[in-house]
Structure 1
């Protein structure tokens, strides 16, 4: 007797496709709002930098990549005007990477766009179904917080 359930491999592919759909829509809209150069890895990197800034080594640890890989991404973000390197007030020998107003603006706009994309899912699926999906995912995802180490994980 055949099972009515889909094969197990379909679940991770559907989750990834949903993630990819949202990320692609986000970046298409960010481009129209003045941030055409922002790529997914840049968003994860800016999240890893945070509002307080971070060293390149710390960014690499948070992303799950080498300090050198993090440094290359930071270099590109600096060239695009999203981050800056400043003296670290805790260690005069080190530099701190901080978000610039342009970087902060891209994160603020991304948050607005994600709210709009979620609202589109609610319009399509219904509020109860979206809340149920989110609740179910929270129950299945271990630990607290949201990982930003996707670049390292896929690398």
Structure 2
């Protein structure tokens, strides 16, 4: 069995820090959403709906989650009045999940907390480093998805 290339070693060395980053982001999301009707997991789902309603399957694809887990979150969001089901003109059996006025208001209430957190963290790194990192993360995500297919 061949060993890893230097690039493969570098990627392997990135895995644990990325897992730690995901955990830190989850913890931060918990702090930001504390006291809100919106949980961190629901915030991920609802954040995708700000511009357009989406099907549960599309949300699951974008987040890389199981459709069933997104369905549970969607059902809770609908039950609490944060989201609603709408007809899907492209697929009769797959409704679209859309934010309600209440949902937009709940997300808007989180915005000042998220802005304060984002500004504090970003000040430690700087705009250019973060823009470069963001682009690198997008490229890495695409490469991983390409390899999985």
State whether TM-score is above 0.5: yes
The SS at the match of 2:48 is helix
- Secondary structure of the residue that 2:59 maps to in structure 1? helix
CA distance in 1, matches of 2:20, 2:84: 37
Partner of 2:113: 113
Report SS of the residue matched to 1:137: helix
Indicate if the aligned counterparts of 2:30 and 2:39 stay in contact, CA closer than 8 A. no
Higher helix share: 2
Equivalent in the alignment of 2:82: 82
Question: Compared with structure 1, are the counterparts of its residues 58 and 16 closer, same or farther at alpha carbon in structure 2 (3 Å cutoff)?
Answer: closer
**With CA pairs under 8 Å and 6+ residues apart, which has the higher RCO, 1 or 2?**
1
Cα–Cα, structure 1 residues 85 and 25, in superposed 2: closer, same or farther, change >3 Å?
same
Return the TM-score normalized by structure 2.
0.65
Match of 1:143 in 2: 139
Cα distance, 1:44 vs structure 2: 0.8
2:104 and 2:20 map into 1 onto residues whose CA distance is 31
TM-score normalised per structure 1: 0.63
Q: Report the alpha carbon displacement of residue 114 of structure 1 after superposing the two structures with TM.
A: 1.5
Mapping 1:34-113, distance limit 5 Å: 35=36, 37-113=37-113
**Contact 2:26/2:40 (CA < 8 Å) preserved in 1?**
no
> What is the root-mean-square deviation of aligned Cα atoms in Å?
3.1
Matches of 2:63 and 2:133, distance apart in 1 = 22
2:33 aligned partner: 27
CA distance in 2, matches of 1:16, 1:60: 17
Gaps in structure 1 of 5+ consecutive residues: 1-7, 146-155
Secondary structure of residue in 2 paired with 1:98: strand
Alignment size in residue pairs:
127
